[in-house]
Structure 1
């Protein structure tokens, strides 16, 4: 008698299916429309191939294109697989390595045959054409389970040295999945965890585009061979692809490096890899944001402090950062023996062979603990909120550096709140509201809040992690943000090694998301650095340490702002708020008088008295994203008026008296937190 499995569906119904049945069989039993639409399946919460047989009674949810997140990840994974097959079809001798799905597509790393040399962008059209041929063949993607030795020998026999090396690091005895395009012995095959779609023909051949080629070291190590990485973007259909390419084109126009040069905000150069040279215009934006943030944190009850850039390596070993971040820290020898502090005995070295080392801080938290530990703190004094515009250094790889978005030297709007357990939910809730005000003040009406949960490798007990995750979750609920409107989501395994964290993901003007602010609930660092307070019972207790930032870093946040506004900043942030420019030289003296009065009113003003046509001047200042042009000629000088042109406005210029212009501009230039 055939064994039957009970398959529970999301609507609560249960279907009995014979042993050997697959999710595809269930879809077909429900109806031909679903059978055609189903791409994969969630079996007991795990995404699986739709053709993979059930192993017993199961809960089943079928994945279609309506389940966009899961569907896109599957499709992008398959496109990477098809890319690898296409490259080996037209470039024999190429070795394959790995190729994951990404946020907007996929990539795959290849080791081209030595005689062929690295791939270039010129190779992409031919590879795209071959990918479409593979898709059109509509071959099934077949999952097979092999043992490790069989996989290793297969790759050795086929000259795939990179795969053969990798497979030997997998646990011995663990089954390994291989995916074949087709059923024949000669069909293309790759080591892959899966899952995949049922066949290559499930992909839309018009929904992908290869975008570029770059170099990438095998396993990210500069000591290893350089590979060719081919990037692509992939979507469920052509309409989605076309919309993405439009966004990509718009993003190129908004590139903060390009706009930064046009507006003379900053520059980067090889003499200081990963560090920013801020020009006067760019530093105006920095100072405006810094002043704004100081007002916000002052009213929220923070105390601003400043901690050292360089600290003894022993401090980083105590905090746990030495073991986790050592390779990304800038370390220097402490050449001069240090004397004990005011009668205290010097501490014995605790780092074998590395006791006389100093390190530039990659983060501010250990320094804030040291400030907290000065003196005796009572429970009545908590919470204590320390804030610092802290300059940090991280030794990022050269290939990872990207304008203002990824740098080696950066300044965090960093703060640490030391509090009791009974204060955590209220402190996190208050931070949620503070972050909400800041992001909305800066023009971001849409954002998501996500909870990053414990990673596999972490410090601290499961009991402490249970508490910390629950406290953050409760705070978001109390703030009214654990809703679909705020994109609430929990992210398993993505917390820091010492604490879970809430993350804020901003949505910019063209729909991109940026992860910026965080707050983390940490019981580990106070324990490691022996931070205590005197509780109501007279005994010493550990405070909870909430790590929090809103911008994340000034550099990256300014880069995001540049791209969000495409350089057309709101008036309070604009480096030059207005330019007084002349139509004729007879109005030069009047233009200087107008500019002087605007400057006296606190408006950032420039004059343009060049002997150029007014249309030329308008174009030039528009390129520099100056918000307001105050145009003056003979008539304006005689009548005591100015003609105002707004950047990007199609409306006719507005003529008004100088007094009215000053009042209007001064009102508009008030930072949002200072407006009544």
Structure 2
């Protein structure tokens, strides 16, 4: 007999060899029907898995993240089986579950059309109705290679060849379909009740541009149709908010093939929003004791060799010149830290001089791969609110807390604090080549950061292998409208670069010592922040951020003189205002201003000109009626100053 401790802490005894599914059935038939996988001692396993020793067991359903993955991984196999039935010549690559769905990559002559997706969905429905049992079996490496060679699955052969000699390799079988896979999977195809194939994209085999371009089919799946319908409705809403679409429609940014991928052009309205944000950030940082620097956009590679970027980040940099020739090699800067460290070293510092808080609005360059480019989210040139704090060990916690407080203030003012999450990014001790510094330095610095985060009291998750090459970091994460998570802000504790740059301060005891450095941004990359705000507000920015805050609409040209008066009064109070002098009907002008998400429209005619009033229409309240001009001006100025949302 073995003891199994369940999620609620209770224990049950069973004969050794019982499966996870059999335990679920013993607990509840309903739980067994909903079960997608199991978690044994924290490891996700198949429902088929036999339990032979004492363990902790949690039955995973679609409500659990790992349960969703097992469910959707099964859906990806159903898709692959459908493709092999409809397009017999197609070769299988990989097909994992991903957030909100799944995909599968295929090598097929030509891409998949919209009509092809319809055929594949119909075939998938047949497979589900066939209620095919999903069976797991294992083969030796040699047997696995022979099976895939017989089937002509060249990509699977490559994957098997990468596995160590002597490996036991698992496969899953559904009717006539067999796929190389580690699992886990559902027990039967019948459980995948609702699914939708959403799009086709190109994807390089193994993510490398050197390899063949494959066709990737994306999809999503749910246990019930109403859940699928709800999800698809959210996706449609997300498309409406997608900054890549909406930002162009609102004239905030554009791109041009002749300029290049990942190099967006901010148009006057988008540039105005970024200017507002930049002034806001720089003013707030100055209040908090930051000093401004302005440094070059490029440097000799000698600088990056000292910092370690040349060894650890060169592939992500734009390099100017040829190392093999006897000439200077330069690189566009991917970050500002080495430049600000050089400024620090301009003279000897005392312990009394610390902390020093450097800030810079920095234009940076990173050679992102073409497949990673997306609107304003991931670009090759961007501007960031970058800063570095040089601190003594006894100042580290207080200064780190100050950085987090600044970030939270920024996010709260922008109205997105409730949408962010925190990630403590640590090093991967099994991949030491990726980092500089010793194990002891990493463990000590990570311990310091963990204590600080716990003292701050924020709710964070840990991620191994996501640290910078010179130290652990706190990542502030944000999901775009499509559910993809991006890092928008980082705070890093650096124990290594001060030594590399020989940055010192004279301590109380007269000895020279190396400081700690905190790398941080306060609002992140301005382009990415603009994208985030477009999606958060569906283009309807809060008044203080709106590129145009007021549109003045005359009923006819007779009142243009009064419009000019209204515009000048508003401009003199710092309000961004535009008149609309076009010979169009007032209803048309109002509709256009609404489509442009203008916070306020002021309609003026004979009555308003005579009484020195304006007829106010606002985005929030629609028709607010007549208002004294000065009263409206005072109201909007106060709203802007308070940064109301």
| Fold shared by both chains (TM-score > 0.5) | yes
**Which whole-Å CA distance do the structure 2 matches of 1:660 and 1:410 have between them?**
41
For 1:317, the equivalent position in structure 2 comes to: 305
Aligned length: 639
For 1:164, the equivalent position in structure 2 comes to: 157
Of 182, 192, 199, which residue of structure 1 is paired with 2:181? 192
**Which whole-Å CA distance do the structure 1 matches of 2:567 and 2:389 have between them?**
46
Note the residue ranges of structure 2 that are not aligned, 5 or more in a row.
none
Q: Secondary structure at the match of 1:362?
A: coil
Of 38, 54, 58, which residue of structure 2 is paired with 1:57? 54
**Which whole-Å CA distance do the structure 1 matches of 2:321 and 2:477 have between them?**
39
Which shifted more, 168-177 or 91-100? 168-177
Q: Secondary structure at the match of 1:11?
A: coil
1:416-449 residue CA offsets vs partner (Å, 9 max, x unmatched): 2222333222222222221111111011241322
Moved >4 Å (runs of 4+): 351-355, 507-514
- Alignment partner of 1:655 is 2:620: no
Q: Secondary structure at the match of 1:552?
A: strand
> 2:241 touches 2:481 (CA, 8 Å); kept in 1?
no
Distance 1:421 1:188, change over 3 A: farther
**Which whole-Å CA distance do the structure 2 matches of 1:392 and 1:429 have between them?**
26
TM-score (norm 1): 0.89
Distance 1:174 1:671, change over 3 A: farther
For 2:385, the equivalent position in structure 1 comes to: 413
Of 414, 425, 436, which residue of structure 2 is paired with 1:452? 425
Of 77, 89, 94, which residue of structure 1 is paired with 2:90? 94
> 1:629 touches 1:644 (CA, 8 Å); kept in 2?
yes
> 1:432 touches 1:476 (CA, 8 Å); kept in 2?
no
> 1:510 touches 1:564 (CA, 8 Å); kept in 2?
no
- Alignment partner of 1:77 is 2:66: no
For 1:631, the equivalent position in structure 2 comes to: 603
Of 146, 152, 164, which residue of structure 2 is paired with 1:153? 146
Task: Give the Å deviation of 1:171.
Answer: 2.2
Distance 1:177 1:672, change over 3 A: same
Task: Give the Å deviation of 1:354.
Answer: 8.5
For 2:264, the equivalent position in structure 1 comes to: 276
Higher strand share: 2
Task: Give the Å deviation of 1:286.
Answer: 0.9
> 1:444 touches 1:508 (CA, 8 Å); kept in 2?
no
> 1:433 touches 1:479 (CA, 8 Å); kept in 2?
no
**Which whole-Å CA distance do the structure 2 matches of 1:318 and 1:193 have between them?**
43
**Which whole-Å CA distance do the structure 2 matches of 1:25 and 1:535 have between them?**
67
Q: Secondary structure at the match of 1:550?
A: strand
Q: Secondary structure at the match of 2:182?
A: coil
Task: Give the Å deviation of 1:507.
Answer: 6.2
1:386-439 residue CA offsets vs partner (Å, 9 max, x unmatched): 111111111222232211111110011111222233322222222222111111
Which shifted more, 159-168 or 136-145? 136-145
Task: Please tell me the root mean square deviation across aligned C-alpha atoms, in Å.
Answer: 2.3
TM-score (norm 2): 0.93
Of 476, 491, 495, which residue of structure 1 is paired with 2:453? 476
Task: Give the Å deviation of 1:381.
Answer: 2.2
Distance 1:105 1:354, change over 3 A: farther
Distance 1:224 1:648, change over 3 A: same
For 2:444, the equivalent position in structure 1 comes to: 467
Which shifted more, 446-455 or 555-564? 446-455
1:126-178 residue CA offsets vs partner (Å, 9 max, x unmatched): 11122222223333333333232222222222111122123212222233222
> 1:444 touches 1:507 (CA, 8 Å); kept in 2?
no
Note the residue ranges of structure 1 that are not aligned, 5 or more in a row.
335-350, 483-487
> 2:556 touches 2:583 (CA, 8 Å); kept in 1?
yes
**Which whole-Å CA distance do the structure 2 matches of 1:368 and 1:172 have between them?**
50
> 2:18 touches 2:52 (CA, 8 Å); kept in 1?
no
- Alignment partner of 1:290 is 2:278: yes
- Alignment partner of 1:391 is 2:344: no
